Amino acid sequence: MNADALQTLVNAQDGHKEKQCQPYLERAQRLLLPRTPVQIIEFSREEPSRAGRSDFVISAAFGDSGTFEKNAYVWEVKSPQTFLFEPDDSAQRLRPTKDFIKAETQLAYYVLELQDSPTFRAKYDLDAFSKVIPAGIIIGRSDAMCKPIDGATAKQQQDLERSALIMRKNLIYGPAQLTIFTWDDVVRFLRDLEKPQTSLLSVFQSPAGAGN
């Protein structure tokens, strides 16, 4: 379960590889937390609730400047082969795909359900002050974020993809403190983790990825 193996799954063209990619997130736990934890308490895939199964949940304890807190972070995951965007009515606009919108919807419902579940809070060792936080979505690949755009060159499509994602991060996901990663972000994190000269401390201090 190394970065090269994940890269092969990310680049695969023979169907969606979401389930095969999910186990690699267990090696990328630090990437899925907002800052360096004192302790990672619990993590699980396919966490059940009445609203469905959330793809990945991780709880951690944080302590600095005399404060201490424990929170759980919920992630929704779609396959590397899933598009984030599709052409809108205007040639200069891209809109989220149904899959992207579905991921947002699932994440919201799962968090709403889990935050009040005594069973969930006990499993993840959450106290009365702990929060269940919608952390973000992992979806698609950075070199194929949008369905093909008629008449656009490769560079034009790439520029539209990047601007669409940056716009949504700045106006929507950033203010909501939601992180959007592609699977390439996970691959980069694992590559950094596997470098011989990379210390565990340096990986904790400088997580890979696009962030909010």
1 alpha carbon, distance to own chain's centre: 18
Task: Per residue of the chain (212 residues), give pLDDT as tens.
Answer: 899 999 999 999 999 999 999 999 999 999 999 999 999 999 999 988 888 899 999 999 998 767 789 999 999 999 999 999 999 988 789 999 999 999 999 999 999 999 999 999 999 999 999 999 999 999 999 999 999 988 889 999 999 999 999 999 999 999 999 999 999 999 999 999 988 865 555 555 555 444 45
Q: How many Å apart are CA 58 and CA 164, to the nearest integer?
A: 29
Q: Please state the pTM of the whole predicted model.
A: 0.88
Report the candidate in 29, 142, 146, 138 with the shortest Cα–Cα distance to residue 88: 146
Q: Residue 196 has what DSSP assignment?
A: T
Q: What ranges do the domains of the chain cover?
A: 3-205
Reduced to 3 states (helix: H, G, I; strand: E, B; else coil), residue 200 is: helix
Element (H, E) at 135: strand 132-138
Return the axis-axis angle of helices 183-194 and 3-11, rounded to nearest 10°. Answer: 160
Q: How many Å apart are CA 72 and CA 70, to the nearest integer?
A: 7
Q: Which residues contact 146 (CB under 8 A, 6 or more apart)?
A: 83, 84, 85, 86, 87, 94, 157, 160, 161, 164
Q: Residue 92 has what DSSP assignment?
A: T
